[in-house]
Amino acid sequence: MLCRNYIMDMPQEPHALIPQREAAGKAYLTIHNLAFRYGEQLPWLYRNLDLAFKPGHLSVIMGPSGCGKSTLAKLMLGFYQPQEGQIALDGRDIRNLAANELRSVFGVVPQDTVLFSGTLYQNLVMAHPQATFDDVIAACKAAEIHEVIEKLPEGYQTEIGERGTGLSGGQKQRIAIARALLKRPKILIFDEAVSNLDQPTAELFALTINKLKGKVTMIFITHQIPRGLQVDEVFSFGGDHQHTTKVGVVGEEK
């Protein structure tokens, strides 16, 4: 009975079975007066938080571990619900969107790329099984991994091991970008995507991301911005969760 009640009390995703449809609008994402905490006895992660992510911009959410950066991404994706305030997509409260409609807008490049034992091609199309081979090549070229794959003995049919055995950290993350781009998202979230990369690899990764500017809105969640990243805004989360805005190329001498 306890298990049954727990399941019934779990928050339900809004209209999750509505057929997916092409999202309209430019995906202008705004956060207004947001407040969230994990439980009534736990401290607030944010109160009265206001942010705006402009279409085509590369915005950074920066701060130390535990300040709520990745939680904010989960709120954007509808996995959690705020206690106060609103997250809106092109003026529509995301709570009024079907789960699949909302998430079709987003692509996510996580900290740890999920790869399984199989071919590179199978790993790439798992997020979009209807993608054509030309779609895969275009996404891999945008992620700057196509030439690397082409040089492998079996190309896109090359077998990899569980968790991407045989690939470098940078190659795994580029595959994650390509896989996310296959969904043709309007907003691309990088959730601590460079935290496991060494500095030279992270800087090369930043150059790839720069080439996507203007083609997709990007939200880059990190505790340290890689040198060379062409940032439009930085929202800095601290102990008081206030934010500041900066503009420019990270690491560029003035």
pLDDT digits (tens, 9 = 90+) for 58-104: 999 988 888 888 999 999 999 999 999 999 999 999 999 999 899 89
228 and 58 Cβ atoms separated by less than 8 Å: no
- What is the rounded average pLDDT of the residues 114-138? 90
Instruction: Please determine, for residue 53, whether its predicted confidence score (pLDDT) is greater than 80.
Output: yes
- What is the rounded average pLDDT of the residues 23-35? 84
Higher pLDDT among residues 32 and 168, named by residue: 32
Residues in contact with 74: Cβ distance below 8 Å, sequence separation at least 6, in sequence order = 80
- Per the prediction, the chain carries an average pLDDT of 83
The domains located in the chain, with CATH, are: 27-105+188-247 (3.40.50.300), 111-184 (3.40.50.300)
